[in-house]
Chains A and B, each alone.
Chain A
Amino acid sequence: MKDVPAWLVDEGSTTEMRRMLSPDSPVDIETLAARARAITLRRFGRTMSLYAPLYLSNHCPSGCAYCGFASDRTTLRRRLEEDEIRREITAMKKLGIRDILLLTGERTVAAGFDYLRRAVEIAAEEMPRVSVETFPMSVEEYRELASCGCTGVTIYQETYDRKRYEELHRWGPKKDFLHRLDTPERALEAGIKTVGIGALLGLSEPVEEALHLYRHARHLAKTWWRAGISISFPRMRPEQGGWQPPFTVSDQQLARMILAFRIGLPDMDLALSTRERASFRDGMAGLAVTRMSIASKTTVGGYDEGETGERGQFDISDERSAPEFCQALRDRGIEPVFKNWDGAYNGPATQILPTGGLKETVLCP
Chain B
Amino acid sequence: MNISKNETAVMDVLNVMDALHIGPHTFNSRLILGTGKFSSTDVMLRAVRASKAELVTVALRRFNREQLEDDLFGPLSQLEGITLMPNTSGASTAAEAVKAAHISRELSGSPFIKVEIHPNPQHLMPDPIETFEAAKILASEGFLVMPYISADPVLAKRLEEVGCASVMPLGAAIGSGRGLSTAGMLEIIIRESTIPVIVDAGLRAPSEAARAMEMGCSAVLVNSAIAAADNPEEMATAFRDGTSAGRRAYMAGLMAESGEAVPTSPLTSFLGESR
Whether A associates with B in a native complex is: yes
Q: A96-B70, A194-B121, A221-B122 are in contact. Are A350 and B38 (CB under 8 A)?
A: no
Say whether A205 faces chain B, with CB atoms less than 8 Å apart: no
Residues of A within 8 A of B40 (CB): 330, 333, 335
Interface string of A220-245 (1 = CB under 8 A from B): 01000111110000000000000000
A45 closest partner in B (C-beta): B37
Report whether over half of chain B's contact residues are helix, strand or loop; otherwise say mixed.
loop
CB pair A225–B224 under 8 Å, yes or no, is no
The interface stretch among B87-95, B159-167, B192-200, B264-272 is: B87-95
B177 closest partner in A (C-beta): A42
Residues of B within 8 A of A221 (CB): 122
CB pair B64–A45 under 8 Å, yes or no, is no
Interface string of A143-181 (1 = CB under 8 A from B): 000000000000000000000000000000000000000
Looking at the assembled complex, report how far the CB atom of B101 sits from the nearest CB atom of chain A, in whole angstroms: 9
Interface string of B133-158 (1 = CB under 8 A from A): 00000000000000000000000000
Query: CA A44 – CA B39 in complex, angstroms?
Result: 11
Q: A96-B67, A339-B64 are in contact. Are A345 and B121 (CB under 8 A)?
A: no
Say whether A10 faces chain B, with CB atoms less than 8 Å apart: no
Say whether A46 faces chain B, with CB atoms less than 8 Å apart: yes
Q: Which range contains the number of B residues in contact with the other chain?
A: 35 or more
Looking at the assembled complex, report how far the CB atom of A356 sits from the nearest CB atom of chain B, in whole angstroms: 9
Q: Choose one: A267, A336, A360; the contact of B123 (CB below 8 Å).
A: A267
B175 closest partner in A (C-beta): A43
Q: A226-B119, A339-B67, A340-B61 are in contact. Are A46 and B103 (CB under 8 A)?
A: no
Say whether B96 faces chain A, with CB atoms less than 8 Å apart: yes
Most chain B CB atoms below 10 A, which of A42, A193, A336, A360: A42
B92 closest partner in A (C-beta): A226
Interface string of A191-213 (1 = CB under 8 A from B): 00110000000000000000000
CB pair B41–A335 under 8 Å, yes or no, is yes
Query: CA A92 – CA B63 in complex, angstroms?
Result: 19
B34 closest partner in A (C-beta): A45
CB pair B36–A45 under 8 Å, yes or no, is yes
Q: Choose one: B39, B69, B92; the contact of A334 (CB below 8 Å).
A: B39
Say whether B46 faces chain A, with CB atoms less than 8 Å apart: no
Say whether B120 faces chain A, with CB atoms less than 8 Å apart: yes
Say whether B49 faces chain A, with CB atoms less than 8 Å apart: no
Q: Which range contains the number of A residues in contact with the other chain?
A: 35 or more
Say whether B60 faces chain A, with CB atoms less than 8 Å apart: yes
A94 closest partner in B (C-beta): B67
Q: A96-B67, A338-B67 are in contact. Are A42 and B100 (CB under 8 A)?
A: no
Q: Choose one: A45, A339, A342; the contact of B227 (CB below 8 Å).
A: A45
Looking at the assembled complex, report how far the CB atom of A163 sits from the nearest CB atom of chain B, in whole angstroms: 32
Interface residues of B in 93-130 (CB under 8 A from A): 93, 95-96, 99-100, 103, 119-124
Residues of A within 8 A of B96 (CB): 344-345, 347
Q: Choose one: B38, B175, B176, B224; the contact of A335 (CB below 8 Å).
A: B38
Interface residues of A in 310-334 (CB under 8 A from B): 330, 333-334
Say whether B228 faces chain A, with CB atoms less than 8 Å apart: yes
- Sample (14) of A-B pairs whose CB atoms are under 8 Å apart: A42-B224, A45-B38, A93-B66, A194-B121, A225-B120, A335-B38, A336-B70, A338-B67, A338-B70, A340-B62, A344-B91, A345-B61, A350-B92, A358-B93
| A-B contacts besides A221-B122, A333-B39, 10 pairs, CB < 8 Å | A44-B175, A45-B175, A226-B121, A330-B39, A335-B38, A335-B40, A338-B64, A340-B61, A342-B90, A345-B100
Closest 5 CB pairs of A and B: A45-B37, A46-B39, A228-B121, A344-B100, A43-B175
